[in-house]
């Protein structure tokens, strides 16, 4: 089998994913347009305000979808900056209204756009699972960390919620497992009464580098928490 023939199924899958993402973006745009038009034409101030809030929420979910868009070019990107953008979108769309804090601690880490996208998909699933299962009716905190550990990159998602006594593997966990394998790594999950932790570890490839002596930058993503977590020069706010 020629190299071109072996790459054809992968190229077809990429085209299908890009088409699906394009279609989802169009559906979001259409829904936002319909709701915004209804808000504009309504004579009831309460209805107008409610519809405007719905349109804003749809915008925020659309931002998450754009952040998770499959990259068109496999160029090196800063995974920390990418996760900061993704976490901000997730927090605004799903967590702020439920009083769930989202904290990101990440080192500047260069990796290929494709690997970064796969890590982002895993992080999205883990945050989504924590928000759904660890905090059913209360506020809490989810912490995402990214760092390099020797020849491996490690990304963890930790929450201080309460996990169910038994956790049944669902579609989300299967997606996480398959994406972890595609990175040549694995994701280990621990569920405890006072919180859960998921640790993704995968080999560092030749294009994956971290600037020497660069500490983790710790930021509190949630909009309702204006303060940063420390006073070091590397600390910022999204």
Query: For helices 3-41 and 45-67, what crossing angle results, to 10°?
Result: 170
Residue of 105, 92, 100, 99 lying closest to 61 (CA atoms): 92
The overall average pLDDT reported for the chain is: 80
Task: Output the six-digit token pair for 189.
Answer: 């999950």
Element (H, E) at 85: helix 79-90
Query: For helices 171-182 and 113-133, what crossing angle results, to 10°?
Result: 160
Q: Is 49 within 8 Å of 66 (Cβ atoms)?
A: no
Per-residue pLDDT band for 4 (boundaries 50, 70, 90) equals: very low
Query: What is d(CA 163, CA 192) in angstroms, rounded to the nearest whole number?
Result: 6
* Dihedral (Cα; 14, 176, 104, 223), 10-degree rounding: 80
Order of strands, edge to edge, in the sheet holding 217-220?
A: 186-192, 195-203, 152-159, 140-149, 100-106, 217-220
Query: What is d(CA 230, CA 185) in angstroms, rounded to the nearest whole number?
Result: 32
Supply the pLDDT for residue 172: 76
Residue of 117, 139, 115 lying closest to 222 (CA atoms): 139
pLDDT, tens digit, 9 for 90 and up, residues 116-167: 999 999 999 999 988 888 887 778 999 999 998 888 899 999 999 876 655 5
Give the predicted TM-score (pTM) of the model: 0.77
Query: What is d(CA 46, CA 39) in angstroms, rounded to the nearest whole number?
Result: 10
pLDDT, tens digit, 9 for 90 and up, residues 53-90: 999 888 888 889 888 888 888 889 999 999 999 999 99
pLDDT, tens digit, 9 for 90 and up, residues 39-59: 999 999 999 999 999 998 888
Q: Is 227 within 8 Å of 235 (Cβ atoms)?
A: no
Half-sphere exposure of 7 (CA within 13 A, CB side): 4
């Amino acid at each position: 089998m020629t190299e071109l023939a072996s790459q054809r199924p992968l190229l077809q899958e990429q085209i299908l994913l890009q088409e699906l993402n394009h279609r989802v973006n169009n559906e979001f745009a259409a829904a936002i347009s319909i709701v915004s038009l209804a808000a504009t034409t309504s004579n009831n101030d309460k209805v107008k305000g409610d519809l405007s809030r719905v349109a804003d929420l749809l915008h925020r979910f659309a931002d998450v979808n754009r952040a998770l868009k499959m990259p068109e070019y496999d160029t090196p990107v800063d995974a920390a900056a990418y996760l900061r953008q993704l976490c901000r979108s997730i927090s605004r769309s799903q967590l702020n209204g439920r009083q769930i804090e989202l904290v990101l601690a990440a080192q500047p880490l260069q990796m290929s756009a494709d690997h970064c996208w796969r890590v982002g998909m895993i992080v999205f699933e883990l945050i989504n699972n924590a928000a759904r299962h660890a905090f059913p009716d209360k506020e809490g905190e989810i912490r995402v960390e990214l760092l390099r550990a020797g020849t491996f990159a490690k990304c963890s998602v930790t929450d201080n919620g309460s996990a169910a006594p038994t956790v049944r593997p669902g579609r989300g966990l299967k997606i996480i497992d398959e994406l972890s394998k595609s990175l040549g790594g694995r994701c280990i999950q621990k569920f405890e009464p006072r919180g859960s932790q998921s640790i993704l570890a995968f080999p560092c490839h030749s294009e994956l580098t971290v600037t020497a002596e660069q500490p983790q930058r710790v930021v509190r993503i949630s909009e309702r928490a204006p303060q940063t977590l420390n006073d070091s020069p590397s600390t910022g706010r999204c």
